[in-house]
A and B are shown apart, each in its own frame.
Chain A
């Protein structure tokens, strides 16, 4: 069974530029999550989708971050404009349902200069 796929693996941008990350979850998983992991910290949930609807985006900085889940499958996370403090690893995870085990992708490491 294929795992959660994320791209790109690495991205370097300058502050005030925009960036987008892509995630393809495990086939059949209804729930998709985006996490931000800052160096030395545990992952922090940014947004949670159930199929193509948003369940929880309470910790998403909505003035600069946006996310969508296309047709309840793939998802993109966008940052516009980026700030220095956005430098982190962005992890995508999926699970069969909200209470199930979450399976993580390898992440995208973002460096904002």
Chain B
């Protein structure tokens, strides 16, 4: 079965330090990969996506993600965390033509400590 996993329920990082939020996927074929962020009482906001091309994808608010096909991973990164980055982050994927249903991970809560 196709799935998306976020192995960490919570990530804590000090303000100004680099952050990484992990995501792995299980699929046959080439996935389309996404990161969304959710602030309290708000809907999900799109951050970035990978379809094809460069393995390093740059997105909104200084975030980037690295696609690694051999490790089936798509980790979200930021060089210097801000307190305002504290939120719930979701990795998602759909698995190609004919079925564009987005499958989400369970989410990772990021807390940036001042």
Contact = CB atoms under 8 A, between A and B. Distances in A.
Q: Which of A42, A105, A106 has the most CB of B within 10 A?
A: A42
Contacts of A4: 43
Interface residues of B, number: 23
B106 A98 contact: no
Nearest to B94: A99
A44 B107 CA distance: 12
Interface string B25-42: 000000010101000011
B58 to A, nearest CB: 15
B73 to A, nearest CB: 17
Interface string B77-114: 00000000000001010100101111011110000000
B44 interface: yes
A54 interface: no
Is the contact region of chain A dominated by helix, strand, or loop, or is it mixed? Answer: loop
Interface residues of A, number: 21
A107 interface: yes
A101 B57 CA distance: 15
Contacts of B102: 33, 43, 45, 102
Contact of B106 (A40, A48, A56): A40
B1 to A, nearest CB: 13
B49 A43 contact: no
B92 A99 contact: no
Interface of B: 4, 32, 34, 36, 41-46, 49, 90, 92, 94, 97, 99-102, 104-107
Interface of A: 4, 33, 40-45, 48, 56, 91, 93, 98-99, 101-107
Name the 4 nearest CB pairs between A and B, nearest first: A42-B104, A104-B43, A98-B100, A104-B44
10 contacts: A41-B106, A42-B4, A43-B104, A56-B99, A91-B44, A93-B43, A99-B97, A101-B49, A104-B45, A107-B43
